[in-house]
Amino acid sequence: MSKPKIVVLGAGYAGLVATRRLSQKLAAEEAEIVLINKHNYHYESTWLHEVAAGTINPNQARFMLTDVVNPKKVRLIYDTVQEVKKDEKRVVLENSEVSYDYLIVALGFVSNTFGIPGMEEHAFAIEDIDSSRLIAEHIEYQFAKYATEENASEDSLTILVGGGGFTGIEFVGELAEKVPQLCKKYDIDRSKARIINVEAAPSILPVFDEDLVTYAKKSLEDRGVEFRIGAPIKECTEEGFIVGDDKELIKAGTVVWTGGVTGNPVLAKSGFEVFKGKVNVDADLRVPGVEDIFILGDCSWTMDKESGRPYPPTGQLATQEGAAAADNIIALLRNEPLKDFVFSNKGTVASLGLSDGIGNVLDGTKLRGKAAAAMKKVVDDRSLFMVGGAKTVLKKGKFRLF
């Protein structure tokens, strides 16, 4: 009799934690484990804004899968997932296909432009290592070009960021560090380079209390970031954003959209019932009515029973879901009862650059400034430990650079 086959789609936070836990807890004769990922590396998606700003090297934000997954225990396949054939219990890949007995779908996010005309065509998006590196290279190219061309427009030095949520604000915080460096490197007056954040809502960072938001906004403004709050983006053109009812055009040389993400389009293509691009999962993280498929991270909505609302999609949620899904698959293999997923919120911290930030931690304590920046590095290193282990923290950890 052949061993049950567990297939994990995606080596992000949820998928990699699930894979490592399965390989550590299951004996070789209990199951075959297969991890399928587009690349041969994992990247820390919560660090992509730093790659995009050029404040860290792309290699700092990623590590090879073979450094943390034992190929003797896990079969690694580097390929792109095209579709899940649920009725046939197989996954169609770009170059092959794989059958499964149990499936974990953890394919991550794609940018969601909410139908804003021109956004997909004319704006960059922070989606993965390559797209983030392209943004950093484009920004520097604009500065180099301005420094060498006669009569160059100062608009080319403007960096326009759409979205005042986590990614957008952390990104402009990194830009507030990077832009002065670029101005010095290319001998450009700092006042000529603008960083503009545009947000349709009446406030930025909705997950934080008003006093922390006020601190964050002032800190960024003091370092040259401009805010256009309550300014819905009507259209994105080659020149920049058209905002508000008066259709004002804000010109820029670099336009980056950070205003939203959605689950991987493979979900809808595979016939899963999606709501706003994601699948509502049961308390045990399985697809309703399907016993052998778990959907995690940015691909699913996991409900908070107390509030009746889904948990916000964060790295700590994804890592905890990965561990819980692995434990439930082990329970299925051993004919043991499954457990409902319970999220343990460790707090929320946002960086505002290298040495500034805001945060709410475990006991409700509010952090701001250097204390929050230090806590953010602790959070990042803890996440890195969860997905990559101690050796990865020693090689890639934030406090190594602090």
To the query of whether residue 29 is one of the catalytic residues in this protein, the response is no
The CB density around residue 169, as the number of other CB atoms within 10 Å, is 28
Residues 342-358: b if buried by 16+ CB within 10 A, e if exposed: ebeeeebbbbbbbebbb
3-class SS of residue 187:
coil
CB 91, CB 9: distance < 8 Å: yes
Q: Which of 170, 177, 199, 321 is catalytic?
A: 170
Phi, psi dihedrals of residue 342, rounded to the nearest 5°:
-125, 120
Crossing angle, helix 370-396 and helix 13-25, to 10 degrees? 50
Element (H, E) at 225: strand 225-229
- Kindly give the residue spans of alpha helices, DSSP state H, lying in 26-128: 48-53, 119-122
- As a whole number of angstroms, the distance between CA 138 and CA 185 comes to 15
3-class SS of residue 135:
helix
Catalytic residues: 170
